[in-house]
Structure 1
Amino acid sequence: MGRRLLRSSGAALLCGLLLAGLPLGVAAAARPAAPPSAVHAELARIEALFASDRPDAAARLQALQDHMPAGATFDERRATLHKLIRFYVDANDARARRYVDELAALGARAGDTESALWAQAYRARLLATLDDKPADGTLLIDSALARAGDNVADDLAIALHDTAALCSGRQGDFKNALRHQIAVLGHVKGKDREDLYQRAIVLNNISSLYSDMGDERQSLAYNDQARTVAEGLHAQDILDTLIVARCNSYVLLKETRRAGEVCREAQARARASGDKALEAIVLDLFGKLAWQDGRYSDCLGYAERALALHNAEHYPKERAQAQADVGLCRIGLGAVAQGEGEVRAALGAFRASKDDASAGATLAMLGTAYERAGLFKQAFETSREQRALQQAVFDRALDRATLQTRSTLEAALRQKEIVALRETNRLQQAQLTNDRLQLAVGLLIALLVGVVGFFKLRDKERSRRKAQQENHNKSQFVAEAAHDLRQPMQAIGNLLGAASHAIGRGDVDKSRDLIDTAQKATHAMRSSFNAVLELSRLECGAIAAEYSSFDLTELVNESVFALRPLSEPRGVAIRLRLRPGRVLAVRSDRQLLGRVLCNLLSNAIKYSDPSKPGGAVVVVGVVGLGCHCRVDIVDNGVGIPEALQREVFKPFFQADNPGRDRDRGLGLGLAIVESILTLLSRHTLRLRSRAGVGTRFSVGVPVAAHDEAIAAPPPASAATDIEDVAGLYVLCVEDDRLVRQSTEALLREYRVLCEPVGSLAELQALLPGLERMPDLVLTDYTLSGGHTARDVVRAVAAEFGEALPVIVLTGESESLALGPELEHAVVLRKPVASAALLARIRALCGGGRA
């Protein structure tokens, strides 16, 4: 019931393609433009024969190589060797080594570097496949890649990177294998059928590697790309592999409904094509779904049918695995003894074939089956057996490594001894041999120390470079943030200076206009500062998601309504695609998700193109997809080039705003979106864009549980009028003189009685003389002398004998330790808009007083 060998199919396809002659064949440039010679004509006939009769084709190819005409050209000899090597490599035949050596010698005689690189690629592949020495193959292919550089033909570059990916994958280094497969993808540039076929296979390989790394979502994304290419080619063999891979991914993700749909489609395709092996794999996956859900009768039916197909197709390993699946299903049905016998028989087959990975996975599933059946003693014994197997595998690997090292050292020592015996007489032999042995051991120790030192130095250098890059990124972020904050500050200073001069000469209207403009600049600076602060708090982990269940359609409607003031002046039409009356209950952080939607919608409004037919349009749609909902935000703007689609998520990056026009935003919106979605579990973001057409952002949100109550949306707050707060008495505690004076001026302008103090000591001196109890306490969190807002609340409560409404203003970027004193306080982070502050005062005090 564990992971199948299905994911190896993509790599097998690519290997087969390479060995069939697409990339590992002779480069097109090597084929003569003149009429084909007798050798080339024979090669063409042999290549055509491979499709129908491989043994006969191989025999004719061998005969051509053994009786090569004396006048054959370099290209003809090289082409013959390539095809012969490919045949033996494909057949896992060690005779391939002989012809690899001949290819290297042919290239050396002709001074052809590419032939030497081809030989290294072949040798590395043989080390990984025939000798089971992928580490040696990696060293060899890395050397070849360094020697090749960037100035080699695409088919050679593809062969080198694909072999490097094979060696890395055999060692379990899937990240390095992925890097090389992506490099292969970059060299598949053609648009003809063969190139597109190869592109589909490479995309499937990348999908397989992501699955090997446990990232099934990314695996599905590349699977979709491969499927699009394969469907255009009507490549049924690739499509069959891809759909079974998708079925496997959904099973591993435990998305039961989606897995069932895809697996049924895969089963239909397998039956239509008559591929019994593929149908057996699909039945295995159906069995796993049933086993996960506890449907053991269905599980047994699927497993038995899969076993029958595996028996018919003569696949020993798959047959053993299917037998183990049958036994696991029987244990689930209560037939423990019979199920144990079948599982143990499968384990015996695994051990006989030395398939420790399948044996370990089967033992793990057997332990789970025992636990489900309540047989905890057997589960414990199985766990011990699994650990013993793991230890044995580790010990064998250690023994192999030790024996290999010992063999290498003994060979080196024997060679040194032979040289010593030839160069010295019998009386000096013992002493000289001892000296040479000591020297060899010393050199080996020095070499080992040097190697260890090299790797430590390399790791240290990597860490240093990474730290330097992070510091550079932070410095660049600070510099760009400072630039965007200085601009409105400069504007505010200029406008206030001009307003002061206008007031001095009595021009009230002009001064009013200048102050209004300064307020707009203040709003721009506050927006910039809040965006920078929000991104910083997200990246340093100061914000935590607070999950609840709510109606996604309500949140989308609120986001669209909130951005109408931005869209209407720009002439942007927002079209909502929502089903009336439908409730889509999702589980997320309502505030953070709302921020994501507003940022994406604002971005779409700013970049919509009014010059297109029908004007600027933004379409917002919500789709329910069973296990999750998707919000699509589509604009008809300039689009984002593919090369820049990852760059747009970097802070301050704007692809179509080199002049930093503030009406087009700051370039922080998408960076904030990505940081927020990193915090939200099981949320996804997908970008699709075409230059000149437009952009689509799709946000995936998990649905809420069926029995979970849906929270009501927060009530909207109305604008604050002077009469709403006039007459209130506010105690203001702020140690910053400028902030204290500006807060007092704002409150007094709205006829709020304000008692400002600058420290806890001033507050304690003032409280006994107050003739009236304040309606509200407005205090900064951090005060001078190490005091906080908690000390303020304690002092006020001690004086008046009851708790008063409290608003805490803070400039801290991290979460605050509020304590019981501030349990019911409202916390606002600086800078706070005056309208927001007055609205909070009105809400806490319930309106003004006469």
Structure 2
Amino acid sequence: MTVRQSEREPEFLQALQDERIRLSLLQNRRMRWAHTLANGATAWLAYQAGAHEAAWTLGLATLLLAHGRAALLQWLHDHGRRAALLQALTWSPAVVSLSQAALLIAVFQQPFSLWQTLITMVMFGNAAGGVAPAAGHLPGYLAWCAPIAGALVLSWLQRGGLESWIFALLILVLFALLIQAVAEQARLQRDMVRLGSDLRRAKEGAERASEAKTRFFAAASHDLRQPLAALTYQIATVQALAGVHKDERLAQTAAGLRRSLQDSRSLLDSLLEVSQLEAGAVAAHPEPVDLHALLQHQHELLAPLARERGLLWELQLPPGPARWAHTDPALLRRVLSNLLSNAIKFTPQGWVRLALIDHEGLAQIVVQDSGPGIPADLQERVFEEFFQVGNAARDRTQGLGLGLAIVRRLVKLLDLELQLESQPAQGCRFSLSLALQAAPPAAAAAAPPLGRHRLLVVDDEVPIRDALAQWLGLLGWSVRTAADCPEALAQLSPLWQPDALVLDLRLRAGATGLDVLNALRASGCQAPAWLVTGETDPEPLRQAREAGMTVLHKPVDGLELAGQISERLRQPLQNSRT
């Protein structure tokens, strides 16, 4: 598209007019009192030159017209009279300048004096000061300066003599330069508006590409997670059978499959998390957080991995009572998990330390290691997606390079500051600072629910629900399955009511797990519910959480799911026999 074609577009023309209106109103407000002083000086010089009556009448008229014009422009703008405002910007300057031109003619009717030279200089200065309020609107500036320039030139020419002719010529040249300045201002303004229009289009294109990428990740994530979901339950079944038959080879095979599946799930989760954060689908939900308990949990969770790597695994907590902060515990755990996993993964030998430092009302969480460190010129780049120091061969065991990219987005979402200190061969030190708060009142402990482990699984994918039923059946659970809402309701009876529900989001005929949950609730079933899905659309997931459901993304580890349900029901796995 050529420049001329783009400048003929209605969108461009409207943007250009809007910019000129904005600048004109802004500069008129800024220059109003400067022009008032200039007009007052002109009237005073006219009086000194002998044009007493004209100085009073025309000077006052100029003042009133100038302020009236400014008030009219603002009124038209405030009331949305855009077309009338554009007309007023073009022709209203002429009304003010005609009264000034009349005053100049009255002054030059007096005997020649120095006052006429002074008033010429003031009027030219006023014309130069009018360049800014013109805001590149050349017709409006010409309507204002033409009467004044004409009056000055004709008045000096009528004096006769070479000096007067030279003065008149200089006035014409100077006004021509001012008009050229306004024309150049108009050209620059067109360029700026055109650039803004191009940037806006580029931004919209980038946003559309980002939305398309997010939709692609969501669709790919959902479709990839479906077969993996069934596979994870089948692997758990194989592990359980290996334990029953004491088959060491089968147990090793199942463990290898489980590790591979966990790697695939980790990669999928990282890609999904980046796309969700970019799309603004993740929101922080701050609440009082026991930092001691949170760090202790993270330390215990990753201790086996640190021991496997042969690292000294340290946790340092300040003495005394637990420290509390107000933040989102799930997002903070994700930040620490990524930082600690990276520290363990990239520290070949030595130690990794997780510490909490209490200093003057602030809690500083520190993740430090004795690893190879990060050069200063790469410390900003390590937070970019898919960038890894020293992994040019893209070793899959070192991940995708998304961990710190996710950390940066989560830290921004939590409104925290992350600091990195590192030197080559001296390890890394990441630190987060949180404001401390008083511990919340202790809540009374809830009594553990009673009942048997009876589970209702609703999923329209036959392999998934069969694999989950087979796995949990080996644990002795009573599992019933359904493909949709009518089948789920048909499973209920006075003799069999589920203790827990596992629901898929997308079901056949456009139904959802939320629909099934509402129907089960209406029938009297109040069992806790898990939504296990490959869906990434934030709206149904938000609705599920608001309905009190625990949301898990496929593929879900079978052991993890069984553990969560057992913990919720407060019954150990080994006693869950029907």
Pairwise TM-score range, normalised by the shorter structure: 0.5 to 0.7
Confirm or deny: 8 A CA contact 1:777 1:807 kept in the other structure.
yes
Name the aligned partner's letter for residue 463 of structure 1.
R
Kindly provide the CA deviation profile for residues 281-331 of structure 1, in whole angstroms up to 9, marking residues without a partner as x.
Answer: xxxxxxxxxxxxxxxxxxxxxxxxxxxxxxxxxxxxxxxxxxxxxxxxxxx
Which has more helix, going by share of residues? Answer: 1
**Structure 1 residue corresponding to 2:528, chosen from 798, 802, 805:** 805
Confirm or deny: 8 A CA contact 2:454 2:499 kept in the other structure.
yes
Instruction: For residue 433 of structure 2, give the secondary structure of its aligned residue in structure 1.
Output: strand
**Structure 1 residue corresponding to 2:407, chosen from 658, 664, 673:** 673
Deviation at 1:846, TM superposition (A): 4.7
Kindly provide the CA deviation profile for residues 164-187 of structure 1, in whole angstroms up to 9, marking residues without a partner as x.
Answer: xxxxxxxxxxxxxxxxxxxxxxxx
- Cα pair distance change 1:597/1:585, threshold 3 Å: same
Q: 2:274 and 2:127 mapped to 1: Cα distance? A: 52
Deviation at 1:832, TM superposition (A): 2.0
Name the aligned partner's letter for residue 346 of structure 2.
Y
Q: Is 1:452 matched with 2:183?
A: no
Instruction: For residue 651 of structure 1, give the secondary structure of its aligned residue in structure 2.
Output: coil
Deviation at 1:761, TM superposition (A): 3.6
- Cα pair distance change 1:477/1:804, threshold 3 Å: closer
Name the aligned partner's letter for residue 586 of structure 1.
A
Name the aligned partner's letter for residue 531 of structure 1.
S
Give the corresponding residue for 1:87: none
Confirm or deny: 8 A CA contact 1:630 1:700 kept in the other structure.
yes
**Structure 1 residue corresponding to 2:555, chosen from 807, 822, 831:** 831
Name the aligned partner's letter for residue 496 of structure 2.
R
**Structure 1 residue corresponding to 2:459, chosen from 734, 754, 760:** 734
Deviation at 1:437, TM superposition (A): 12
- Counting only pairs closer than 5 Å after superposition, residues 275-290 of structure 1 correspond to structure 2 as none
Confirm or deny: 8 A CA contact 2:454 2:479 kept in the other structure.
yes
- Cα pair distance change 1:814/1:437, threshold 3 Å: same
**Structure with more relative contact order (C-alpha pairs < 8 Å, separation 6 or more):** 2
- Cα pair distance change 1:516/1:635, threshold 3 Å: closer
Structure 2: tracts of 5 or more residues without a match: 1-125, 135-140, 158-168, 239-246
- Cα pair distance change 1:600/1:844, threshold 3 Å: closer
**Structure 2 residue corresponding to 1:544, chosen from 271, 277, 283:** 283
**Structure 2 residue corresponding to 1:637, chosen from 367, 371, 377:** 371
- Counting only pairs closer than 5 Å after superposition, residues 277-676 of structure 1 correspond to structure 2 as 402-405=129-132, 447-466=184-203, 513-610=252-349, 616-676=350-410
Confirm or deny: 8 A CA contact 2:367 2:429 kept in the other structure.
yes
Q: Is 1:778 matched with 2:515?
A: no
Deviation at 1:457, TM superposition (A): 1.3
Deviation at 1:542, TM superposition (A): 2.5
Deviation at 1:591, TM superposition (A): 2.2
Q: Is 1:690 matched with 2:423?
A: yes
Q: CA RMSD in A?
A: 4.9
- Cα pair distance change 1:445/1:795, threshold 3 Å: same
Q: Which moved more, 1:812-821 or 1:539-548?
A: 812-821
Confirm or deny: 8 A CA contact 1:639 1:694 kept in the other structure.
yes
Q: 1:454 and 1:694 mapped to 2: Cα distance? A: 50
Deviation at 1:579, TM superposition (A): 3.4
Name the aligned partner's letter for residue 839 of structure 1.
G
Q: Is 1:757 matched with 2:463?
A: no
Structure 1: tracts of 5 or more residues without a match: 1-398, 422-431, 501-507, 611-615, 716-723
- Cα pair distance change 1:453/1:400, threshold 3 Å: same
- Cα pair distance change 1:714/1:561, threshold 3 Å: farther
Q: 1:759 and 1:753 mapped to 2: Cα distance? A: 19
Q: 2:402 and 2:131 mapped to 1: Cα distance? A: 56
Confirm or deny: 8 A CA contact 2:128 2:178 kept in the other structure.
no
Give the corresponding residue for 2:440: 709
Deviation at 1:795, TM superposition (A): 3.3
- Cα pair distance change 1:582/1:522, threshold 3 Å: same
Give the corresponding residue for 1:163: none
Confirm or deny: 8 A CA contact 2:214 2:275 kept in the other structure.
no
Name the aligned partner's letter for residue 591 of structure 1.
A
Instruction: For residue 437 of structure 2, give the secondary structure of its aligned residue in structure 1.
Output: coil
Give the corresponding residue for 2:511: 787
Q: 1:469 and 1:822 mapped to 2: Cα distance? A: 32
Name the aligned partner's letter for residue 696 of structure 1.
R
Instruction: For residue 272 of structure 2, give the secondary structure of its aligned residue in structure 1.
Output: helix
Confirm or deny: 8 A CA contact 1:588 1:702 kept in the other structure.
no
- Cα pair distance change 1:667/1:459, threshold 3 Å: same
Instruction: For residue 660 of structure 1, give the secondary structure of its aligned residue in structure 2.
Output: coil
Name the aligned partner's letter for residue 430 of structure 2.
F
Name the aligned partner's letter for residue 796 of structure 1.
L
Q: 1:400 and 1:585 mapped to 2: Cα distance? A: 66
- Cα pair distance change 1:556/1:577, threshold 3 Å: same
Name the aligned partner's letter for residue 680 of structure 1.
L
Deviation at 1:686, TM superposition (A): 0.5
Give the corresponding residue for 1:34: none
Q: Which moved more, 1:556-565 or 1:578-587?
A: 578-587
Confirm or deny: 8 A CA contact 2:318 2:358 kept in the other structure.
no
Give the corresponding residue for 1:127: none
- Counting only pairs closer than 5 Å after superposition, residues 67-216 of structure 1 correspond to structure 2 as none
Confirm or deny: 8 A CA contact 1:413 1:440 kept in the other structure.
no
Q: 2:253 and 2:315 mapped to 1: Cα distance? A: 39
Instruction: For residue 629 of structure 1, give the secondary structure of its aligned residue in structure 2.
Output: strand
Deviation at 1:417, TM superposition (A): 7.7
Instruction: For residue 538 of structure 2, give the secondary structure of its aligned residue in structure 1.
Output: coil
- Cα pair distance change 1:479/1:795, threshold 3 Å: closer
Confirm or deny: 8 A CA contact 2:545 2:551 kept in the other structure.
no
Name the aligned partner's letter for residue 746 of structure 1.
W
- Cα pair distance change 1:475/1:639, threshold 3 Å: farther
Deviation at 1:439, TM superposition (A): 9.8
- Cα pair distance change 1:709/1:511, threshold 3 Å: closer
Q: 2:462 and 2:539 mapped to 1: Cα distance? A: 25
Deviation at 1:646, TM superposition (A): 1.2
Q: 1:808 and 1:593 mapped to 2: Cα distance? A: 23
Higher CA-based Rg: 2
TM-score normalised to the size of structure 1? Answer: 0.41
- Cα pair distance change 1:473/1:711, threshold 3 Å: farther
- Cα pair distance change 1:751/1:417, threshold 3 Å: farther
